[in-house]
Amino acid sequence: MTPPLILEPAQPADACVIWLHGLGASRTDFEPVARMLQQRLPTTRFVLPQAPTRPVTINQGYPMPSWYDIRAMSPDRAIDQPQLEASAHQVLNLLSEQQAQGINPARSLLAGFSQGGAVVLHTAYIEADLPLGGVLALSTYAPTFDESVALSDVQRAIPLLSLHGSHDGVVLRSMGRSAFDKLEAAGVSAQWREYPMEHEVVMEEIQDIGDWLAARLG
């Protein structure tokens, strides 16, 4: 397994963001964004894990970095849930490693783009029962959420920032909004940001993420 890319801050770390890339990408995908954010967050470590390479059914079985297999696109996604759960446990292990290095879970945040976002939503609001500092859900969805999401008090207290493109043709806006609505209905302090973009990341979005992180970690 490829080790995560770890970006140490300018000052001793007292917080961390674990950031998962999307399907077919790599651990370096969000490195420029993380380094930009560290200019505002001089004590925050960024941990950028790498998904395993495996066949992806919707891409004709071609092997690529993937947090889980996607078997069909309709109606939302048909996924290999055990693989997603295994990826969530990989994230939990990273959280444990950060805690062993002195980072309080309350100053540990999870972020993920697209497929990576689905993993962090599952990790924070289904698998874990940790008082995390927050979740960043970028252009993503929640294939493991039921119609209503039953949360513990600890999970309910994890704030969420959902960011999505109004022109996203890969993960439809409605899919991202559904995940957001379910968590908001379950009592999560959730914010929604929408941008006139496709399945991508834009500078305005990065600035909003920086503001949101600084409010929690500054």
Query: Residues with catalytic annotation?
Result: 114, 168, 199
**CA count, 13 A, side-chain hemisphere, 8:** 4
DSSP assignment of 11-68 equals: S--SEEEEEE--TT--TTTTHHHHHHHHTT-TTEEEEE--PPEEEEGGGTTEEEE-SS
Q: Could you give the CA distance from residue 141 to residue 76 in angstroms, rounded to a whole number?
A: 9
Q: What is the pLDDT of residue 176?
A: 96
Q: What is the pLDDT of residue 76?
A: 65
Q: Which amino acid is at 111?
A: A
Token pair for residue 149? 């999401």
Number of Cβ within a 10 Å radius of residue 185: 12
Q: What is the pLDDT of residue 32?
A: 97
Question: For 5-48+80-217, which CATH class?
Answer: alpha beta
pLDDT tens-place string over residues 153-174: 999 999 999 999 999 999 999 9
Can you tell me whether residue 163 is helix, strand or coil?
Answer: strand
- Reading the chain (218 residues) residue by residue, the pLDDT tens digits are 799 999 999 999 999 999 999 999 999 999 999 999 999 999 999 999 999 999 999 888 899 999 999 988 765 668 899 999 999 999 999 999 999 999 999 999 999 999 999 999 999 999 999 999 999 999 999 999 988 889 999 999 999 999 999 999 999 999 999 999 999 999 999 999 999 999 999 999 999 999 999 999 97
User: 98, 75, 91: which is closest to 125 by C-alpha?
Assistant: 91
pTM attached to this predicted model: 0.96
Q: What is the pLDDT of residue 78?
A: 86
Q: What is the pLDDT of residue 74?
A: 65
Report residue 52: phi and psi, to 5°: -70, 155
Sign of the dihedral through C-alpha 51, 52, 57, 58: positive
> How many residues can be counted in the chain?
218
In the chain, where the domains are located: 5-48+80-217
Q: What is the pLDDT of residue 46?
A: 98
Alpha-helix residue ranges (DSSP H) falling in the chain: 31-38, 81-100, 115-122, 153-156, 173-185, 203-217
Q: Which amino acid is at 74?
A: S
